[in-house]
Structure 1
Amino acid sequence: MMMAAARKTTNWFAIGVTAAALVVVLIVGGVVWFANSQATSPGTLPQASAVNTETGAISVGTGQKTVDTYIDFMCPICNQFEQSYGPTLDQLAESGEITLNVHPIAILDSRSQGTQYSTRSANAAYCVAVDNSANIPAFVKALYAQQPTENTAGLDNETLAKIATASGASSGVASCITDGTYAKFVTAMTEKTPLQPGSSRPATPTIVVDGKTLNNQQDLTGDPQKDIVQRLG
């Protein structure tokens, strides 16, 4: 009888240990979830009619057909693309033939001596877009006109703010640029950069003409009429 009674005795200690362990697992799981959500969060969204907060596109023009450009302001080839194709894209956007979607991304932060120039300059572009998106074309051109060489520190935030205001933005963009208001958004949108055909990682510039991602090696010949206009149909 005593043995039977002993077998029926509830082991409260074991239950307590199990419950405590479960609580620890739940807490750790919650901490991990929170950390992961913070790491992948786009942070503050650039709220403006010209900014698509799902894709990161800053729209210029209202045409039915689209050209998307994914650019890093530290990228010298992006600058070359701007010089060769920029005037044609601007004209197409101004005439209402296309919507030009500019995606400022950051894949070259490692080439700015730890200052994260790619992220900072892309953040500045969103600051300008939120202030007044009409100034984006001028700001993009001005950034490329003063593009720093790879493996230098890049332009500081004060200079970025001066370029922004010289491009037509209000003085309020200075604090947005200095605070890195949209830095996390830049990181999140960079991860959405489409891969070029045959590539295993994102590259800049990446150009998408009316939904088709071009291969820089094969599809960009330096002739905007052939490479862009004819593809638009």
Structure 2
Amino acid sequence: MSEKNREGKRTARERMMAERAAQEAKDKRTKKLVVGGVVVAVVAAAAVTGVVVQNQRSKPETPVAAPTGAIGDKSLVIPSGAADAPSTLTVYEDPRCPACGMYERTFSPTIDQLEDQGKLQVNYHVVSFIDRSLGGTGSKHGANALACAQDAGHFRDYHDVLYRNQPDETSDAFGDKQVLLDLAKQVPGLSTPVFEACVNDSKYGGWVSAVQQDFDKSSYKSTPTVLLNGTPIYPKKGDEQISPENLAKWVDEANAGKQPGSTGSHGQSPAPTSTASEPNTPPTAP
């Protein structure tokens, strides 16, 4: 074979090898692009799924109804006393919280008197985290029963009765709705078929959950949390320890030169004309 022919065959063979190598390189690039695209798509899908799941987890429960007269953002607060009172006491408490029971048994007579004098309105945030910590349903059912009492115009009296008869924190006695209904008999005019149905049906269960979710997002991490005109006063205000006498003094100091508000019977709002109002939309050691 001539040198020329051998050179021609070698050149053809090298050209074929070069074309094959180029094709293999192209195939590898294509495969990488496909795989990469799949990975990107999977990551993107996972990201979307993660957002959806996170949105589902963080989406607050929207109460279908709030108790009559509830105020504040999303109607999560139950007021007691004159709406035009010159001072406001804000209270976060759980029906099962023993420290809340001690606070209420110590201060409720003074607070009721200040309400009756038109000096103070109390805004209650009825939370229910102890169920989550200890199990049971007493916090939620107690909070729902308080909302039902608000509908009937007897929130304050029933609230005081619940805390005077508060069971041990670990007993979950308020998880028995009959206990809540029996205690209502101590409040004249509260024990009615409407109230009983409201308690038994957990009418305000969604509202109770929304109040707790609002507390979870707040800067307050324990109960009772008590503020006078936005300033924390429990267990002390500045260097002064809270006491019934100091509470009355602090309210009088805050109200100096201001007219008292008008009050209804026992410092409560008049009995409502409807059973519920639609809302605008929608822990730690006790």
Q: TM-score, normalised by structure 2?
A: 0.63
Are 2:203 and 1:184 aligned? Answer: no
Alignment-mate amino acid for residue 54 of structure 2: W
Distance 1:181 1:5, change over 3 A: closer
Q: Which residue of 2 aligns with 1:135?
A: 154
SS at match of 1:101: strand
Bigger-Rg structure (1/2):
2
> 2:40 & 2:199 partners in 1: Cα distance?
53
2:169 to 129, 146, 150: 150
Q: Say if 2:61 and 2:206, in contact at 8 Å, map to a contact too.
A: no
* Deviation digits for residues 125-178 of structure 1 (CA, Å, limit 9, x no counterpart): 23333x24x211011012113210122122212322444576426333124437
Stretches of structure 2 that go unaligned for 5 or more consecutive residues are 1-17, 257-286
User: In the alignment, what sits opposite 2:124?
Assistant: 102
Cα distance in 2, alignment partners of residues 166 and 221 from structure 1: 27
Tell me which of the two structures has the higher relative contact order, counting C-alpha pairs closer than 8 angstroms and 6 or more residues apart: 2
Superposed displacement of residue 57, structure 1? 1.9
Q: Which runs of 5+ in 1 are unaligned?
A: 196-201
Partner of 1:89, secondary structure, is helix
Classify the secondary structure of the residue corresponding to 1:108: helix
Secondary structure of the residue aligned to 1:103 is strand
Q: Give, in whole Å, the separation in 2 of the partners of 1:52 and 1:164.
A: 27
In structure 2, the residue matched to 1:198 is none
| CA distance 1:124–1:43, shift in 2 (3 Å) | farther
- Which residue does 1:18 correspond to in 2? 39
User: C-alpha distance in 2, partners of 1:7/1:143?
Assistant: 78
Change (3 A) 1:45 1:106: same
Structure 1 residue 179: Cα displacement: 7.7
Q: Secondary structure at the match of 2:169?
A: coil
Q: State how far apart, in whole Å, the 2-side matches of 1:183 and 1:165 are.
A: 23
* C-alpha RMSD of matched pairs (Å): 3.3
What amino acid is the match of 2:63? T
Q: Deviations over 1:185-212 (max 9, x none)?
A: 23213325554xxxxxx33222111111
What is the TM-score normalised by the length of structure 1? 0.75
Residues 96 and 172 in structure 2, CA contact (< 8 A), matched pair in contact too: no
Gap change, CA 1:177 and 1:206, over 3 Å in 2: same
Equivalent residues in 2 for 1:1-233, closer than 5 Å:
2=19, 3=22, 7=26, 10-11=30-31, 13-14=34-35, 17-18=38-39, 20-38=41-59, 41-44=60-63, 46-47=65-66, 48-54=68-74, 56-60=76-80, 61-62=82-83, 63-109=85-131, 114-129=135-150, 131-132=151-152, 134-155=153-174, 156-164=176-184, 167=187, 168=190, 170-171=194-195, 172-177=197-202, 180-191=205-216, 195=220, 202-217=221-236, 218-223=240-245, 224-233=247-256
Q: Give the superposition deviation at 1:214.
A: 1.1
Q: Give, as a single letter, the amino acid of the residue that structure 1 aligns with 2:136.
A: T
Q: 1:90 Cα deviation (Å)?
A: 2.2
* CA–CA separation in structure 2 for the residues paired with 1:44 and 1:186: 9
